[in-house]
Amino acid sequence: MKKVVLAYSGGLDTTFCALHLTKDLGYEVHAVIVNTGGFSKEELTAVEARANTLGVASFHILEVLDTYYEEVIKYLVFGNVLKNSTYPLSVSAERILQAKSLAEYAKSIGAKAVAHGSTGAGNDQVRFDMIFQTIVPDIEIITPIRDLKLSRQEEIEYLKKHGVSMNFEKAAYSINKGIWGTSVGGKETLTSSDFLPEEAWPTQVTETEAKEIKLTFVQGELKGVDGETFENPVNAIQEVQALAGPYGIGRDIHVGDTIIGIKGRVGFEAAAPLIIIKGHQLLEKHTLTKWQMFWKNQLSEFYGNHLHEGHYLDPVMRNLEAFLADTQKFVTGDVRVMLQPYRFTLLGINSNHDLMSSKFGSYGEMNKGYTGEDVKGFTRILGNQTAIFHKVNSDD
């Protein structure tokens, strides 16, 4: 019997895949969860129990949260990466590491095929396939949902027919949870006009009183929250999420161009990623020079787009990561943030590397590093070429 490694989450799509691969296609299915911070211990136990009712040969959990941070998330923070100035790549970044981990696991057990639950209409199919064809080029890639062109309703009917019991009402929304945000897809995101209803959001609003928190960055990495130091930035991210998530912060719908050329919408909630990225960006505005900021913005946008479209293994990504890491030497300090229902406000920063130091003057009031005569000469030279152009080409 041929071994297949299935990217499994316990949701509607991968539950269908597990059953279809075993019952209809006769594969020896090895279901694998690549945990990037989206499952509690209780949830993993429940997912394993369901997998075992579907006839899988084995169930395995790959714990990759620290690797996910070190290889991907860290650089998204360094680059302040938000797709279309909105989306923190909650799913796309996660998929890259999941695919990489699955490919390596498939090699380790001698699997002849890998399978995933992507449809034929989204980005994930490309991300998974590109990683698989690079790391395990000789392994067959199986995609039941894509190949059979199934709707979610058809999947539900199939599972009911085979006696599978799960919350099908909840399954009406496709939810993908990880440490870098949770995506939510449903009938509303298939339109251009509708917004997700309150009940569709996985984290409900329970906090209403404003609260100020402090984020401490050390060379660009979040190492402290409200005075508590975290050796591992993963734990700091989780603490920010625990504090900010109950405010309903970070809810939005991202509209973008998919890899396959169509427009797409996806809902997401990402309190910690948005607060951390915006806080980090504010600290950089105070500690980096104009040209550091300029080139970071250009290269970070490319880095985010390239990762989003599945090109993580392109060697240029390692080059860009080296640049991003090098810019973080002096990005150290505290950022004050006010949390309120559905929003947050950046209040200010404190840093020993603040280039807005009063030792050099106060913007709009006084300067201490040059004289008025210096400015007159500087301005004449700065505008000289423009003045020459207009003089040479004047109609007079």
- For 239-274, what is each residue's pLDDT tens digit? 999 999 999 999 999 998 888 888 989 999 999 999
Q: In 3D, which of 111, 107, 114, 129 has the Cα closest to residue 14? A: 114
Burial of residue 141 (CB within 10 Å: 0-12, 13-18, 19+) is middle
Q: CA dist 377 to 317, 353, 362, Å?
A: 44, 30, 21
At position 384, the amino acid (one-letter code) is: N
- Write down the pLDDT at residue 359: 64
Mean pLDDT, all residues of the chain: 93
Determine contact, residues 343/250, Cβ cutoff 8 Å.
Answer: no
pLDDT in the model for residue 355: 95
Per-residue pLDDT, 360: 59
For residue 396, give Cα distances in angstroms to 45, 145, 390, 392, 393.
83, 72, 10, 10, 9
- Residue 312's pLDDT is 96
> pLDDT tens across 352-391, in order?
999 997 665 555 566 777 888 999 999 999 999 999 989 8
pLDDT beneath 50: ranges in the chain: none
Residue 348 burial class via C-beta count within 10 angstroms: exposed 0-12, middle 13-18, buried 19 and up: exposed
Provide the whole-model pTM. Answer: 0.90
Q: Alpha-carbon distance 52 to 13, whole Å?
A: 16
